[in-house]
Each structure stands twice: as structure tokens, then as C-alpha cells.
Amino acid sequence: MTAVLAGLGTCLPPRVVGNRELSQRLDTSDDWIQARTGIHERRIADTGTTTVGMATSAADAALSDSGMADVDALVLATSTPDQLCPGSAPQVAAGLGLSGIPALDVNAACTGFLYALATAGGMLAAELAERVLVIGADTFSRLCDPDDRTTAPIFGDGAGAVVLRAGTAAEPGALGPFDLHADGTRANLLVVPAGGSKQRFSDNSHDYFLHMQGREVFRHACAKMAESVLAVLRVARLPLAGVDRLVGHQANLRILQTLAARLGLDEKHLVTNIGHVGNTSAASIPLALADAVDGGHLRPGHHVVLTAFGAGLTWGSSVLTWPPVRGNMQGHRIPEDSYEPVVR
């Protein structure tokens, strides 16, 4: 059995924070942020809006897009769960009225959505499930020191979800192969030092925020995503000339442009929405897919490469032919009241 993409949904918190607003309290400028990252604005979750709420809203939208009433497993990619313990996936399942199904978190930072797709694909192949919800959701604004100009302008909050069903490799929407990697020797390049079992408490509040060595991460991101894209294309027997859309993790427009240049891919094949959402970590790829479909930039039959890079370090890629999935973007605005578990 192969995982086939059958529905797509998104959720973005309504509050838009533009570069000018940020530059009023940070030593930065609209010009610097736009020139160095391509970001104009990002969505920021208000108090009370959490990863679980956004993930539930995006999953609900994906389910309605797929026309399915339910699924029999749920995988949530996030590195900003509502609590350190338990995982957030069971609460998302409960919010959808699906208590009882297997539900787990996958923490692979910005590569999380690809790892979650592969995990769900494995569940389908092992016949543990016939339909699986895969969600990427992150609230990175909570991990960024609001006074740190090296991280606060980069990240935004949001969630995106897909419904996968068991199908065959020949169908449009069939996912795979996958190329996935990790290198824990470079964990220090993107790290939240305190809060985990290594350093449960710290007197320095900055230790609870994300520390990023941006320049080094940038270098590794370009090199590793290029390697991974070429590796996955080789296994898929898809020539670079056959790639219609490259949907990369939206970390920095310059990373995506460098990646395209290294691959020798025309920039017209790049899908980018970072300008409006920033780096939404695990939500990045499904949000980019939804924006591309909505804008007519991604159409059924397109050969699509997905690629991502993030903390861990982690990176990877996959391919699919875009199926006739329209995407449900109603969740681009989430309801004011938080999600309560519902009974289906």
C-alpha cells in the first residue's frame, strides 16, 4: 500500500505582524528583514491560541477537503507542543471527536512534516490504518525571545494538514520515495537549552528561548537540501527537467533561491509564500502547498518535490504528482473560542 494525498487544510492565526511593527521595538528594519529573508509579515498566535488549537482547525479543514468523516490514525509534526508531556496529538484527535485512534507527535523541527508523512506512510503500508491525518503545526513565536532580532523576525505561527489514504503508487497524489537524514552532532546550531531533561530549570530566562546560529544553519540548509533533492529524484527516476514545482521549507527566500541555483532549476518552479507567513517550521510545507494551489501555481499533474531542513539537524525530501485536491483554506482564520473536544 502507498500513501495517497486526499485532502489539504490550513490554519493561520488572524493577527498579522508586519516588519514595521517589529522594527518599532527591535533594532532592525523592514529593509533588512525583506532583503535578508524575503519576509514582509507573519501571523502571530495571541495568548490562548496554541499548537493544539491551530492543528485541530487545520485537520478539520483537511478532513472536509477530503470528503472523509474520519481517519484511523493521526500524526502531528511539532516541536512546540502545548505541554512537554503529554504529546499534543491525542488532544488534537480528541478535538476532532476521534478519541481512541492512535495519535503521536513527531519532533523533527522544520523537517517534521516530511518525517510525519513518512511515518504515516509506514502505518498505511503496515496496514495499521487506511486513512491517516498528518498535521504540521508550530507556535514558534513562543520559543523566540521577543527581544532577539536574530530569531523574532524570522518565525511565524500556523498549521497545515493533509489526509492520506491507502492507495497505489501509480495514482496521482501517491507519496514517495522519501530521503530522510539527521545529524545530532550539530544539535547546538538550533537549540532551546533549558526546559528538557538536560537542564530542567535555568536562572537565565534566555535559556528557555531558541538560540540559532543562522549563518551556519543557512550553509547547511542549502547544501543538504540540494543533496537530498538530487537523491530523491534519482530513486524516483524523475529527471530535474521533469520537476514542475519545488516546495521547500520556507525558512528564508535566499535559501530557496540558492537551492534552485545549485540544482540548476529555474526560479519559476519555486513555490514561495514566506513573504506572508515567515518560517512556520513544521507547518511550512502544507501552508506553501495550500497557497500555491489557491493561487493556481500548483495544478493537478504537476511533478512536485518537497524538501525541508531544520533543527536536529534534520533534513529530507519526497516527491509526488499533485492530485485533484483543491485545499480548504477556511482555517486561515481560527475561531476566537479555543477548541473543545467534540463528539462525532
Is the Cβ of residue 139 or residue 281 nearer to ligand ACO in the bound state? 281
Distance CA 220, CA 342 (A): 43
Indicate if 252 belongs to the active site: no
* Burial label, 193 (beta-carbon count in 10 A; 0-12, 13-18, 19+): middle
Q: Quote the least distance from Cβ 287 to ligand ACO, whole Å.
A: 14
Is the Cβ of residue 59 or residue 217 nearer to ligand ACO in the bound state? 217
**Distances from the Cα of 200 to the Cα of 86, 141, 192, 193, angstroms:** 16, 21, 11, 9
Is the Cβ of residue 99 or residue 150 nearer to ligand ACO in the bound state? 150
Is the Cβ of residue 215 or residue 344 nearer to ligand ACO in the bound state? 215
Q: Quote the least distance from Cβ 252 to ligand ACO, whole Å.
A: 3
For β-strands 73-77 and 103-106, DSSP reports them as: parallel
Q: Residue 323: what are its φ and ψ, rounded to 5°?
A: -85, 175
Q: Quote the least distance from Cβ 114 to ligand ACO, whole Å.
A: 12
Q: How many CB atoms lie within 10 A of CB 276?
A: 17
Indicate if 249 belongs to the active site: yes
Q: Quote the least distance from Cβ 254 to ligand ACO, whole Å.
A: 7
Read off the amino acid at residue 59.
A
Identified catalytic residue from 252, 279, 297, 302: 279
Q: Quote the least distance from Cβ 164 to ligand ACO, whole Å.
A: 23
Q: Show the 3-state SS of 155-207.
A: ECEEEEEEEEEEECCCCCCECCCEEEEECHHHHHHEECCCCCCCCCCCCCHHH
Indicate if 144 belongs to the active site: no
Is the Cβ of residue 279 or residue 321 nearer to ligand ACO in the bound state? 279
Coil, helix or strand at residue 323: coil
Is the Cβ of residue 87 or residue 248 nearer to ligand ACO in the bound state? 248
Q: Quote the least distance from Cβ 263 to ligand ACO, whole Å.
A: 17
Identified catalytic residue from 11, 144, 249, 273: 249
Q: Where are the alpha helices (DSSP H) in the chain?
A: 19-23, 30-37, 51-66, 89-95, 112-125, 214-236, 253-263, 274-277, 284-294
Identified catalytic residue from 110, 297, 328, 332: 110
Distance CA 278, CA 139 (A): 12
Positions touching ligand ACO (CB under 6 A) are 28, 32-33, 36-37, 109-110, 149-150, 153-154, 190, 214-215, 217-218, 221, 251-252, 255, 279, 281, 309-311
Q: Residue 50: what are its φ and ψ, rounded to 5°?
A: -125, 175
Distance CA 306, CA 284 (A): 11
* Burial label, 126 (beta-carbon count in 10 A; 0-12, 13-18, 19+): exposed
**Contacts with 296 (C-beta within 8 Å, 6 or more apart), sequence order:** none
Which sequence positions are flagged as catalytic? 110, 249, 279
